[in-house]
Every structure is written in structure tokens, then in C-alpha cells.
Amino acid sequence: MFIIRPYIETDLEDIIQLWERCDLTRPWNNPEIDIFRKAAQKDDLFLVAVKDQFIIATLMGGYDGHRGWINYLAVHPNHQRNGVATALIQHLEKRLIALGCPEIQLLVQKEFIDIQNFYEQLGYDEKEVVCLAKRLIHDH
């Protein structure tokens, strides 16, 4: 069994290790700064799953007043295919509905496209959009 709770400050190092283990860190994102920025929002949408006092999964949720967002979904390889990611997403969805958020979305890097099946069985459909982005702060 595992519990789901919002991020607290002392989770920082464990989360970075988990993201590295799950190959989610990227050269253009400094994970520590990403976590500080998110924690400063104090929205309790950055969730962790904890089992036997170890962080086994994360889900950085968000709500911008128009759409809910999913980022940094990661489950430790030893705990995958046990429904942890499903439970995190469903937990986030409930929190977003309580905030009045009408729709939730996420961006998937093309290299992760094989997990589209995971999202589809949770009711997420692919949208025909082009994602444009501009980096405003370079963290390194």
C-alpha cells in the first residue's frame, strides 16, 4: 500500500533522484529550480506517492485558471504496473474538479509516446495541436 500527499520541502533530494532514475531530467530543466518554483505556488497540486517512507512516484499538477496540467509523472521502476500512476492522476483530477478546473491536459515528449496507451485508458484523447514554446529563463 502507498499514500498520496502533497510535496513537502524535505522531499526535494528524493524526488530529484527518482526523476533521474526515471530518465525525466533534461539538460534545459534544472530539477531543483523546477521544484522550488512549483513549491512557491503553494497550490498542493504537486503530489508524491509514499510507500514505507520512500517516495516511489511524483505528479506535478497545476491549474492556470483555464486548464489543469500534468507534469513530471514518474513512478520508480520497482513500483511500476501497480496502479500508482493511475492513482496519482485520479487524485489530481479530484483536486482539480474541486477547484472548478474544466479540463486537464499534458504534453508528451515524442520519445515517451509509447505511454500514450496509459493515458488513453484513463480517458485522455490526443489533440491535433502544435506546441510552440519560448524559454524565458535559462537555468544553467
Among the listed residues 69, 72, 67, the one whose alpha carbon sits nearest the alpha carbon of residue 48: 72
Measured in whole angstroms, the distance separating CA 93 from the mean position of its chain's CA atoms is 12
What is the 3-state secondary structure of 82-103? CCHHHHHHHHHHHHHHHCCCCC
Binding flags for ligand COA, 14-53, as an x/- string (CB under 6 A): --------x-x-----------------------------
Q: Which 75-134 residues touch ligand COA, going by CB under 6 A?
A: 75, 80-86, 108, 112, 114-115, 117-118, 121
Provide the sign of the torsion angle of the four alpha carbons 99, 105, 111, 114, taken in this order. Answer: positive
Toward ligand COA, which CB reaches closer, 73 or 96? 73
Using CB under 6 A, list all residues that contact ligand COA.
22, 24, 73-75, 80-86, 108, 112, 114-115, 117-118, 121
